[in-house]
Structure 1
Amino acid sequence: MNAVPKTAMVLAAGLGTRLRPLTETTPKPLLTVAGRSLLDHCLDRLVDAGVQRAVVNIHWLGEQIRRHLQNRQDIDIVISDESDRLLETGGGIARALPLLCNGPPLCNGPLLCGEPFLSVNSDLIWRDARGNALRSLAARFDAASMDALLLLQPTTGATGYEGMGDFLMDQMGGLTRRDSRCTAPFVYTGVQIVSPRLFDGVPQGEKAEAFSLNRLYDRAIEQGRLFGLRHEGDWMDVGNHAGMAQAEVLLNGGRR
């Protein structure tokens, strides 16, 4: 069994436009559900799984997040500051790669050597029905054959989610995109284990450019290196008002 990575990326730089007017004065990661901020829900799960270090990127109202994180004593927090420009999901991780990966640069290339790391979006909440999702991801991850392993939720059982899903998954866990005309059986939860190899050839650090992780996922799919793992439990998309309200009910003992 593989150990859970000790380092995680927490994506907390979004504008939260779907949650306006709440996010006009409060950054989305600091909005609360069941009496706890979304960011703390996320960090709690990381700590529970044994993660020791979290790199948190900030942009909109980032100083509020920076001050809030000073209260956390149970995990080492490192800030990746994107106040100058919003880099989206892919660019945000590429900017933070020097903070996430250990070891010297590869010869003749921009990618840093390093161990796989966790990456978690801050606009979600998940609960496990059996075991621990992060430990299950670690146990399944195979760096030799995978560039990323995504935690997937059955689309029909996703609280607060109104989309058509993201992926089809074969018996070995290999992922393909859904047909644009059909609903896919699985939606990406925003939780994953990533190999630095996924970012091969991508400008990193201060040279990072804005782009979506989907661009790298598509490349990994073409190479047969993007995999998924079904989540056993609840997953709540809290990126909009309806999702926040449903999560509040669920976490307070109600039903979807």
Structure 2
Amino acid sequence: MMGAERPSTAMVLAAGLGKRMRPITDTIPKPLVPIAGKTLLDWGLDSLQQVGVEKAVINVHYLPDQIVRHVATRDRPGIVISDESERLLDSAGGIVRALPELGSKPFYILNADTFWLDAGKPNLERLALAWDGKAMDILLMLAELPSTTGHSGGTDFLIGPDGRLSRAKGNPDELIYAGAAIADPHIFAGASAEPHSLNAYFDRAIAAGRLFGMVMRGHWITVGTPGAIAPAEAAVRRAFADAPRVDMSRVNRQ
């Protein structure tokens, strides 16, 4: 178990086009869409800062200069930009390109267009405590559907008694991937920085019995379309009204 040895680096996937968020994303990249007074990107970066991550690598493609300017205002975590302006590399290709900055130890992976509200101990801390490098290649944070807002798709994974994952295969009672994970960089050995998806690595880890999951505590929020903004902000207000243990300083700060 990693215990106190939390990952010190993180990959933040922020290079998507955000087409479903148009017309908002005609002028700003999706990670900079504000929810409850704070951008989607800052919700994630604040979660990383909260658990002591020292360096976050952010890949950019669409309207990249806006993201570069925005993160320049942050002190923590330290930001490194991985520029994919010329060509999108997809989730895994972007990580492979950023590996020299991410280091040789397990690191966090975060999607920049989803976020969550912790209940009690930060979920990223819980993820680090659950990590077991001897048994795991990837550890995913998962959410139960009743604890989500904005999710319109199906479920993703079935979790076994020991935490091992398999694909949900359409079972509506299973879990969704909550856009946060810990991965061992060795799984990308020999991969090239060409466009390809993390899903291939999930499936490879499942086949090896080395994909595990942890169910988050709190509320998970995804904002896929302009119409999802109001429900997301209502969920934030509701969560803070119902759970004062959530850190109020994380709201209304960009």
* TM alignment of 1:151-170, pairs within 5 A: 151-170=141-160
**CA distance in 2 between partners of 1:27 and 1:236 (Å):** 18
State the shift of 1:160 in Å.
Answer: 0.5
Q: Report what 1:34 is aligned to.
A: 36
Say yes or no: does 1:80 pair with 2:65: no
- Amino acid in structure 2 at the alignment position of 1:238: V
Q: Report what 2:93 is aligned to.
A: 91
**Secondary structure class of the residue paired with 1:173:** coil
Q: Report what 1:209 is aligned to.
A: 194
Q: Report what 1:227 is aligned to.
A: 212
- Amino acid in structure 2 at the alignment position of 1:224: G
State the shift of 1:252 in Å.
Answer: 2.6
Q: Report what 2:244 is aligned to.
A: none
State the shift of 1:70 in Å.
Answer: 0.9
Percent identity between the two aligned chains: 46
State the shift of 1:184 in Å.
Answer: 4.8
Question: TM-score of the superposition, structure 2-length normalised?
Answer: 0.90
**CA distance in 2 between partners of 1:2 and 1:138 (Å):** 8
Unaligned runs of 5+ in 1: 102-113
- Amino acid in structure 2 at the alignment position of 1:225: R
State the shift of 1:213 in Å.
Answer: 0.5
CA contact (8 A) 2:96 2:188 kept: yes
Q: Report what 2:230 is aligned to.
A: 245
After superposition, the C-alpha distances for 1:189-222 in whole angstroms (9 at most, x for unaligned) are 010011012213311xxxx110111011101100
**CA distance in 1 between partners of 2:211 and 2:190 (Å):** 17
For residue 133 of structure 1, the aligned residue among 119, 123, 129 is 123
CA contact (8 A) 1:236 1:243 kept: no
Say yes or no: does 1:13 pair with 2:49: no
Say yes or no: does 1:175 pair with 2:135: no
CA contact (8 A) 2:137 2:184 kept: yes
**CA distance in 2 between partners of 1:201 and 1:174 (Å):** 25
State the shift of 1:77 in Å.
Answer: 0.6
**CA distance in 1 between partners of 2:136 and 2:190 (Å):** 17
- Amino acid in structure 1 at the alignment position of 2:95: I
Say yes or no: does 1:123 pair with 2:108: no
CA contact (8 A) 2:59 2:81 kept: yes
**Secondary structure class of the residue paired with 1:5:** coil
CA contact (8 A) 1:89 1:213 kept: yes
Question: TM-score of the superposition, structure 1-length normalised?
Answer: 0.89
State the shift of 1:243 in Å.
Answer: 3.0
Q: Report what 1:106 is aligned to.
A: none
**CA distance in 2 between partners of 1:173 and 1:85 (Å):** 36
Q: Report what 1:64 is aligned to.
A: 66
State the Cα RMSD in Å: 1.6
Q: Report what 2:250 is aligned to.
A: none
State the shift of 1:156 in Å.
Answer: 3.2
State the shift of 1:185 in Å.
Answer: 1.0
State the shift of 1:238 in Å.
Answer: 1.5
**CA distance in 1 between partners of 2:229 and 2:86 (Å):** 29
Name segments (4+ residues, structure 1) moved above 3 Å: none
CA contact (8 A) 1:155 1:164 kept: no
CA contact (8 A) 2:24 2:226 kept: no
**Secondary structure class of the residue paired with 2:31:** helix
- Amino acid in structure 1 at the alignment position of 2:206: I
For residue 43 of structure 1, the aligned residue among 42, 45, 57 is 45
**CA distance in 2 between partners of 1:183 and 1:211 (Å):** 27
**CA distance in 2 between partners of 1:88 and 1:211 (Å):** 5
**Secondary structure class of the residue paired with 1:192:** strand
> What count of residue pairs does the alignment treat as equivalent?
239
**CA distance in 1 between partners of 2:173 and 2:62 (Å):** 32
**CA distance in 1 between partners of 2:224 and 2:54 (Å):** 26
Unaligned runs of 5+ in 2: 242-254
